[in-house]
């Protein structure tokens, strides 16, 4: 394997694997461990946590390096003349993948940045309500709380979601919660704004939610829908935003899509672009109604074209990432392998640990599978226990899948990728057996 990786690295260094044309001249490796030669992992590292930070393929990394060198050759020429054309190409290609129009899509550093951009552009008033769930990503939930702590103090309403559960139960609970919130009697009821945060795929547990149906429920109730789709692009097929019609949608390109960290796509349909009056930070071309020559707000796309000096390479790496995925066989082929392995691997891991999978029928599982850990539920989460698990897995075993505590049980979320095989779950099982024994022993002290 090392010799194969060295050979590929040599070709990459010579630029022979970076173009669409050159990639097309050779067949990609088989999915599984043969894929390691296209990534730069420590050879002994077993990676089950692609979902947190992403993993950059070597062909994409080399394309990024070449673009960086091109930029540095003449920064002014690139940033003032050339960059916008690459930027439009990246937005156009991502827009096509998610079923949107190009000028409804802009690039932002990460999903949290995109969601904050949306929430902090709403004009909040007394009595407005923001809906979240107990599985809303922690930093998004903190952003919501901060808005609730800031005048005019919009209220925060939280739906309790506990897994295991079913899509049918989620939708019924969501429908009832939306109905209850929107029907609450208030002097401000007629003017009250309600905004709902919806996970497309929750982070922990790593489960697929019926977000398209949840968006429809919001639309029927006159509630704004903001979809946190951090894990969607590259993992979820047939997204088709023009058909689903969320009010806002944000997804991370450096996770499952294989772009360079960090890069996300922010989708705002034309009907809602008036809400976004400024990006973060506010750009130099922001148009204020107080300007003497004010002639209306800046266009949505132009707001995000240049809002401070940044490294544009991660944004533009979307093009190389999409080329790479096309070379591998495309979205369906990639996700067929990873989904099937997630289902089979999750069951295998649960069998080895003597536990169970969270979603035995696979209805909520895409490429992240959640497996119960052999830690008694009365041992609750603490920073000390979390550090013990992380250090045992990463430092002692050189393997990682996210451990977490949910619904009075300990679980792990395994992010399954094209380099994984069923035998990797056996390595992970041995590491978790060791780590969980240490946790139980620590808890008894």
**Please, which pLDDT band fits residue 1 given cuts at 50, 70 and 90?**
very low
List the structure tokens of 153.
Answer: 């103090």
What is the predicted pLDDT for the residue at 20? 54
Find where tokens 């390595």 sit.
427
Mean pLDDT of 422-430: 98
What pLDDT sits at residue 185? 72
Q: Given this model, what pLDDT does residue 298 score?
A: 86
pLDDT at 21 over 70: no
- Does residue 229 have a pLDDT over 70? yes
| Confidence (pTM) | 0.93
pLDDT of residue 10: 46
Average pLDDT of span 233-240:
97
* Helices (H), ranges, 120-163: 138-148
pLDDT at 359 over 50: yes
- The rounded distance, in Å, linking the Cα atoms of 206 and 368 is 6
Instruction: Inform me whether the pLDDT recorded for 215 exceeds 80.
Output: yes
Q: What is the DSSP string of 2-69?
A: HHHHHHHHHHHHTTTTSSHHHHHTSPPPPSSGGGGGGS---TT-EE-BHHHH----HHHHHHHHHHHH
Share of the chain above pLDDT 70, in %: 93
Closest by alpha carbon to 44, among 8, 2, 10? 2
Average pLDDT along the chain: 93
Q: What Rg do the C-alpha atoms of the chain give, in angstroms?
A: 23
Is 143 or 21 the better-scoring residue by pLDDT? 143
Q: Which residues contact 184 (CB under 8 A, 6 or more apart)?
A: none
Tell whether the model's pLDDT for residue 266 goes beyond 90. yes
Could you tell me if 64 and 317 are in contact, meaning their C-beta atoms sit under 8 angstroms apart?
yes
């Amino acid at each position: 394997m090392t010799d194969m990786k060295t050979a590929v690295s040599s070709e990459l260094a010579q630029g022979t694997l970076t173009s669409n044309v050159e990639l097309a001249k050779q067949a990609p490796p088989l999915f599984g461990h043969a894929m390691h030669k296209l990534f730069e992992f420590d050879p002994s590292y077993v990676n089950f946590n692609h979902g947190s930070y992403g993993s950059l393929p070597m062909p994409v990394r080399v394309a990024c390096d070449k673009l960086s060198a091109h930029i540095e050759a003449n920064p002014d020429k690139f940033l003032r003349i050339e960059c916008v054309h690459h930027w439009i190409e990246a937005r156009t290609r991502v827009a096509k993948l998610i079923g949107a129009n190009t000028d409804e899509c802009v690039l932002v550093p990460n999903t949290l940045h995109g969601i904050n951009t949306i929430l902090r552009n709403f004009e909040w008033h007394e009595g407005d309500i923001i809906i979240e769930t107990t599985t809303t990503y922690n930093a998004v939930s903190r952003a919501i709380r901060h808005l609730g702590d800031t005048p005019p103090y919009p209220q925060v309403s939280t739906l309790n979601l506990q897994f295991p559960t079913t899509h049918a139960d989620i939708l019924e609970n969501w429908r009832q919660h939306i109905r209850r919130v929107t029907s609450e009697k208030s002097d401000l009821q007629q003017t009250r704004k309600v905004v709902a945060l919806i996970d497309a795929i929750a982070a922990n547990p790593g489960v697929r939610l019926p977000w398209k149906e949840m968006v429809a429920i919001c639309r029927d109730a006159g509630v704004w829908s903001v979809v946190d789709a951090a894990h969607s692009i590259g993992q979820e097929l047939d997204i088709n935003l023009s058909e689903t019609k969320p009010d806002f949608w944000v997804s991370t390109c450096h996770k499952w899509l294989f772009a360079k960290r960090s890069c996300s796509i922010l989708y705002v349909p034309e009907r809602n672009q008036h809400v976004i009056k400024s990006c973060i930070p506010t750009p130099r071309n922001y148009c204020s109604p107080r300007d003497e020559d004010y002639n209306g707000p800046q266009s949505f796309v132009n707001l995000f074209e240049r809002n401070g000096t940044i490294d544009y390479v991660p944004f533009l790496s979307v093009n190389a990432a999409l080329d790479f995925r096309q070379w591998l066989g495309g979205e369906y082929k990639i996700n067929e392998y990873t989904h099937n392995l997630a289902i089979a691997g999750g069951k295998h891991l649960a069998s080895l640990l003597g536990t169970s999978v969270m979603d035995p029928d696979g209805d909520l599982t895409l490429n992240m599978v959640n497996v119960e850990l052999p830690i008694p539920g009365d041992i609750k989460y603490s920073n000390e226990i979390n550090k013990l698990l992380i250090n045992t897995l990463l430092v002692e075993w050189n393997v990682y899948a996210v451990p977490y505590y949910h619904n009075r049980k300990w679980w792990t979320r395994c992010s399954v990728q094209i380099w994984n095989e069923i035998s990797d779950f056996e390595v992970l099982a041995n590491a978790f057996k060791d780590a969980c024994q240490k946790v139980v022993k620590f808890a008894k002290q």
